[in-house]
């Protein structure tokens, strides 16, 4: 019965959780407009204590690998790798969008043709997204950076009801919301360590462990920073 510590820092939401044999023992989540990842160590300490465990008792560390916030992913993966090195535990990496889709199992439509499209904000009208079948989580379209316009998902919306969710979905509502097959939730669904841990339990049995030394987050796009303009002379 594996005990897995899970970490999620892909967005402004930051969370940690403990699962034992797929059962959630404890979870701690923080939502903050600023970088909540600075509280990650505190959240980890809290979930371990709440589960009446020590870090030495866990069997693996799972982390959301991305896509998502460049800074958030870097902090989460660095923390996970540090724990794995220190505790000599394996590392499991879970796609952030897959974890978001997994979290929708309890609210999805029972219609087998319904699709799930988790979306993370990627600036302007661009989102990180993927398309999954709601009843099986089969990947219909892989993770990608997509610029949203009136033609986005047009072929899929002709035949399927699609549930759009995540912090990138709201920017798409004005463009796609008039389509009767497009469903937008009235609440923002953030990725959570609860789903990361549930998926990691499955992965642990197959042991697709990462090489801790070489593993890097799945940024999907190159980081683009901003530099101050120089004053003209």
Residue 67: CATH number of its domain:
3.30.420.40
- 84 and 136 inside one domain: no
86 with 194, same domain: the answer is yes
Residue 157's CATH number: 3.30.420
Domain count, the chain: 2
Domain-located, residue 229: no
Is residue 233 in a domain? no
Q: Is residue 200 part of a domain?
A: yes
Local confidence pLDDT in tens for the 233 residues of the chain: 899 999 999 998 899 999 999 999 999 999 876 555 568 999 999 999 999 999 999 999 999 999 999 999 999 999 999 999 999 999 999 999 999 999 997 555 556 689 999 999 998 889 999 999 998 899 999 999 999 999 999 999 999 999 999 999 998 998 999 999 999 998 999 999 999 999 999 999 998 899 999 999 999 876 544 444 444 33
For residues 92 and 194, membership in a common domain is answered with: yes
Instruction: Tell whether 201 is covered by a domain.
Output: yes
- Its domain, for residue 177, covers 104-184
Which among 209, 219, 231 has a CA at the least distance from the CA of 91? 209
Pair 143, 202 in one domain: no
119 in the same domain as 92? no
- 23 and 65 inside one domain: yes
The secondary element (H helix, E strand) that includes residue 49 is helix 40-50
Give the helix ranges, DSSP H, for 130-169. 154-159
Instruction: With respect to residue 120, please indicate whether it lies within any of the assigned structural domains.
Output: yes
Contact (CB, 8 A) for 197 and 29:
no
> Does 216 map to a domain?
no
33 and 55 housed in the same domain: yes
Q: Report d(CA 115, CA 153) in Å as an integer.
A: 11
88 and 126 both lie in a single domain: no
Same domain for 17 and 123? no
Do 11 and 84 sit in the same domain of this protein? yes
Sheet holding 23-31, edge to edge: 23-31, 13-20, 3-8, 60-66, 91-95
Are residues 90 and 54 both part of a single domain?
Answer: yes
In a domain, 35, yes or no: yes
Could you tell me if 34 and 68 lie in one domain? yes
Closest CA to 9 of 84, 71, 51: 71
Q: What was the pLDDT predicted at 107?
A: 55
Residue 25 lies in a domain: yes
* Entry pTM: 0.91
């Amino acid at each position: 019965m594996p005990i897995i510590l899970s970490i999620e820092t892909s967005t402004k939401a930051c969370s940690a959780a403990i699962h034992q044999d797929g059962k959630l023992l404890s979870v701690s989540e923080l939502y903050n407009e600023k970088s909540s990842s600075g509280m990650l160590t505190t959240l980890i300490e809290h979930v371990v204590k709440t589960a009446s465990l020590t870090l030495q008792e866990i069997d693996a560390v799972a982390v959301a690998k991305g896509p998502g916030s460049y800074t958030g992913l870097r902090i989460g993966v660095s923390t996970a790798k540090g724990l794995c090195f220190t505790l000599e535990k394996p590392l499991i990496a879970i796609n952030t969008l897959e974890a978001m889709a997994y979290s929708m199992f309890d609210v999805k439509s029972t219609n087998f043709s319904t699709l799930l499209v988790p979306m993370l904000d990627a600036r302007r009208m661009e989102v990180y997204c993927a398309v999954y079948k709601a009843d099986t989580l089969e990947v219909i379209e892989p993770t990608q950076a997509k610029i949203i316009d009136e033609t986005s998902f047009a072929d899929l919306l002709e035949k399927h009801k699609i549930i759009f969710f995540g912090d990138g979905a709201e920017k798409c509502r004005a463009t796609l919301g008039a389509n009767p097959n497009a469903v937008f939730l009235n609440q923002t669904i953030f990725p959570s360590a609860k789903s990361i841990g549930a998926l990691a339990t499955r992965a642990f049995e197959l042991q697709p462990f990462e090489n801790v030394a070489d593993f890097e987050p799945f940024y999907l796009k190159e980081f683009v920073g901003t530099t101050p303009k120089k004053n003209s002379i």
